[in-house]
Amino acid sequence: MSFADLNLIPELQRAVADEGYTEPTPIQAKAIPAVLERRDIMGCAQTGTGKTAGFTLPMLQLLAPYANSSPSPARHPVRALILTPTRELAAQVSDSVRTYSKHLKLRSTVVYGGVDMTPQTKALREGVDILIATPGRLLDHVQQKSVSLGQVEILILDEADRMLDMGFLPDIRRIMGLIPTQRQSLLFSATFSEDIKKLANQLLRNPLLIEVARRNAPADLVEHQVYETPAASKRALLAHLIRSRDMKQVLVFLRMKKDCNKLARELVRDGINATAIHSDRTQAERELALADFKEGRTTALVATDIAARGIDIAELPFVINYELPYTPEDYVHRIGRTGRAGLPGEAISLMSPDEERLLTEIEKLLKRAIPRKTPDNFDLDRGREQRPRRETRNEAPRREPQQTAPAPRPAAQAQTPAHSPSPPKPQRASDGFDFSKPYQPASAGSPVVQKPPVSQGRTRRPAAALLGGLAVKDKK
């Protein structure tokens, strides 16, 4: 089947051909005809199988009759609303919309938190046909009266399960009250929980369930492996795996934002170029970190589950779970960053003893056991690489002494100095004592030098001298 068989308009077929795509993926082949029939959809597919294009292409075709080049904002009301849980995913969807709508005169923009609202407000007031947004920032613009949702015809919830996990359900319900009840609603996600089905029953009208893979199934091209290690040895083991396997691009997952910053700093000290991405960083910092990682300037990107949504790298070879997630579905989302577009990938997990329960839940969801592996040339107990053992002096092979006859002793020869030292010059004192000679006791006939007696106590002076009674003799 080709995209021409899906009854897409020529403008969309040209855009698809420009991207080099010739055949639709299974989710696209099933979703595009159903969306064009104005059906409400629940689409479930493995991450990286093209579900974004599965709702973008038919949405653009349904909005094509409204395309115009008028500068008037009244000619460009919001007719399609796409909600995503994170900024990265919103930016990714926005890029797809611009890519596939380049031959259509439809306006689109994206709004999310973490950046200044002024440019977003200006774009909204100029008029947009397609709005991609995160729920919180969208409600901020609604409160500022910079956007109206009264003419929305198509509502799309991408990664709906994650939006529920992040507590966006009250915001979603508020948004539902701002858009017309007569609309077409689509839910697309890599996983579907029972809570999502309950929400779909409330928001969708007779939805069509499209599942091209077993629910919550990971990509088939991903190889899973687990290294059992003490928690204190995880960082050293991670650095060892990156160096020993010469990993050029690796996405590392943690649970907490503060731990991401700490691990990234420690990897840099280990000589590995690493950076962190999480919700506490500004949007400019996150975009820079993601761009450096995609272009190969950064080896390791340390991320949380929420920030990783929207990281779309076609040839990402490695995903490492530095910490196992608390929910098994998050494991599927994590490893979905690799093994995309038909390319193989590896999902490596570092499991400490207290995380064994989490691994059991993941294996139940996957319905298979994940093989355990032991790192080569690494001491897990000491948390360091094993170095080649040196041969100590005690362990060196002992050599037998050779029996040789003693050499004859040479006759003693008189050693005469080439130049005899000159005798020292006498150093005599004023009384005739010679300091250059060694000490000799005084002989009986030598003169004895009488030393003046040492006075004991204070010198006695006449009392009259103290009182000024002595007369001074006249000088003649």
CB 252 within 8 A of CB 263: yes
Give me the helices (H) in 204-256, please.
234-244
For 290, list phi and psi in degrees, rounded to 5: -70, -40
Say how far apart CA 226 and CA 371 lie, in whole Å. 6
**Category of 55 on φ-ψ map: left (φ > 0), alpha (ψ -120 to 50) or beta:** alpha
* Tens-place pLDDT, residues 33-42: 999 999 999 8
Q: Residue 212: is its pLDDT beyond 70? A: yes
* Tens-place pLDDT, residues 329-380: 788 888 878 877 667 889 999 999 999 999 999 998 888 899 999 988 888 8
CB 208 within 8 A of CB 331: no
Q: Residue 314: is its pLDDT beyond 80? A: no
* Tens-place pLDDT, residues 229-260: 999 999 999 999 999 999 999 999 998 888 99
Say how far apart CA 348 and CA 331 lie, in whole Å. 11
CB 47 within 8 A of CB 212: no
Q: What is the pLDDT of residue 23?
A: 86
Helices and strands counted in the chain (H then E): 16, 16
Give Cα 332 to chain centroid, integer Å. 19
Q: What is the reported pTM?
A: 0.65
Model confidence band, residue 184 (pLDDT cutoffs 50, 70, 90): very high
Least confident of 22-26, 289-293, 338-342: 338-342
* Range 450-475 burial, b when 16+ CB lie within 10 A, else e: eeeeeeeeeeeeeeeeeeeeeeeeee
* Range 257-274 burial, b when 16+ CB lie within 10 A, else e: bebbbebbebbeeeebeb
Burial class (CB in 10 A: 0-12, 13-18, 19+), 402: exposed
**What's the token pair of residue 218?**
């990971």
Say how far apart CA 233 and CA 383 lie, in whole Å. 4
CB 247 within 8 A of CB 318: yes
Which are the contacts of 172, defined by CB distance < 8 A and separation ≥ 6?
83, 135, 157, 163, 199
Say how far apart CA 90 and CA 83 lie, in whole Å. 8
Say how far apart CA 471 and CA 464 lie, in whole Å. 10
Q: Residue 201: is its pLDDT beyond 50? A: yes
Q: What is the pLDDT of residue 410?
A: 54
Best CA proximity match to 267, nearest among 232, 239, 227, 298: 239
CB 267 within 8 A of CB 260: no
Best CA proximity match to 26, nearest among 214, 199, 187: 214
Q: What is the pLDDT of residue 475?
A: 46
**What are the angstrom distances between the C-alpha of 401 and each of 35, 266, 394, 405, 407?**
93, 53, 17, 13, 16
**What's the token pair of residue 413?**
């020869």
How many other C-beta atoms are found inside a 10 Å radius of the C-beta of residue 72?
Answer: 9
Q: What is the mean pLDDT of residues 301-323?
A: 80
For 377, list phi and psi in degrees, rounded to 5: 55, 40
Best CA proximity match to 210, nearest among 94, 55, 365: 55
Say how far apart CA 157 and CA 179 lie, in whole Å. 14
Q: Residue 327: is its pLDDT beyond 80? A: yes
